[in-house]
Amino acid sequence: MAYDERVRDLFQPLTVRSLTIRNRFAMAPMTRGASPGGIPGADVAAYYARRAAGGVGLIITEGVRLAEPEAGYPAAVPTMAGEQALAGWRAVTKAVHGHGGAIAAQLWHQGAERRDSDGVGAVSPSGVNSAGQPAGRALRTHELAGVADSYAQAARNARDVGFDAVELHGAHGYLLDEFLWANTNLRTDEYGGDMAGRTRFPAEVVAAVRAAVGPDFPIIFRFSQWKQTNYAASIAADPAELQELLSPLVDAGVDVLHPSTRRHYKPAFPDSDSDLTLAGWTKKVTGVPVIAVGSVGLETEFTPGSPGGPIPPAPVDQLLDQYGSGEFDVIAIGRALLADPTWVNRLRDDSLDGFQGFDAATALAQLS
């Protein structure tokens, strides 16, 4: 296949506030559970550094737990609190920067999806998980400010140990998403009800993070329609609702939006536009930079809970079409980077002919 010259367009830098990335490629956040006691070690630094060396412009880390025990499980998920964990993250950011990459910490509160195997109960908007089952307890109104402060402290810590940005995980049925989705937010106070009520707490978290990190440090917000238990879920039924959902987050201080989809090319609202994706609609209704994601370089979509495979490689023609039409500013890559940390450089150099795609054995090796 002839080299598509449009690939070169994806190797232009992008600046958002204090962050400049060398190209339009990000590493998508993927949970590893490889930080015993929540402390990222030398292997974590090497894992991310390999992808930076392979050409990725922006690394977005796996989900990083907030300080409170109820925020996440198991303990091998890294945290952004405590001297040892912060020292580990300093080594990670130094390693990534050493290869010319930038790095964002994804801050994660699991909400009602937190397992209770260690005896710690989950907290969430209404004590209901994304499958509609009782799980843990509902957060009391007076507790919400403390949760927002926990996000803010984690973001401040991330900035202080060398991260270039933070991403707030508001997708896939976790805490912030549970506030946004009517099926998991059954509250009757000012943090529930209509879209304005459901976006109130996530926007307050964004505002608290902005106050903690200052005016120049970038804040990314990841959201999704789908949940781990329901691929057909929807928090916005049409573009108008999408704008109503996202505008308060942008007003509160979000600089970049990261709509998580399982296929980057799938139209979001076919009745309104037969082609425009969720990334494209997100950019259209907000005007802020957007990160697209979903099955880049591979034939089939991601299935949570299973590495899947073998999955053959796929061309990037649709990706180039979307970028050329202005649907996104950065493209995040997940499984292709697990299979080959040099995927970005190989795309640049037109040397992907030997790329074998993705299989479970490769994924397990890369996650170890």
- 114: CB partners within 8 A, 6+ apart: 70, 71, 72, 73, 120, 122, 136
Of the listed 47, 151, 174, 191, which one is catalytic? 174
Those residues with Cβ within 8 angstroms of residue 298's Cβ, 6 or more apart along the chain or in another chain: 311, 312, 313, 314, 335, 336, 357, 358
Tokens in use for 186? 């059954």
Query: Could you tell me which residues come within 8 angstroms of residue 133 by beta carbon, excluding any fewer than 6 positions away?
Result: none
63 close to 328: Cβ distance less than 8 angstroms: no
- How many residues in total does the chain contain? 368
3 flagged as catalytic: no
- Tell me if 223 sits within 8 A of 257, measured CB to CB: yes
Alpha helices by DSSP H, 99-236: 144-160, 175-180, 195-213
- Residue pair 142/100 in contact (Cβ under 8 Å)? The answer is no
Please list the active-site residues.
174
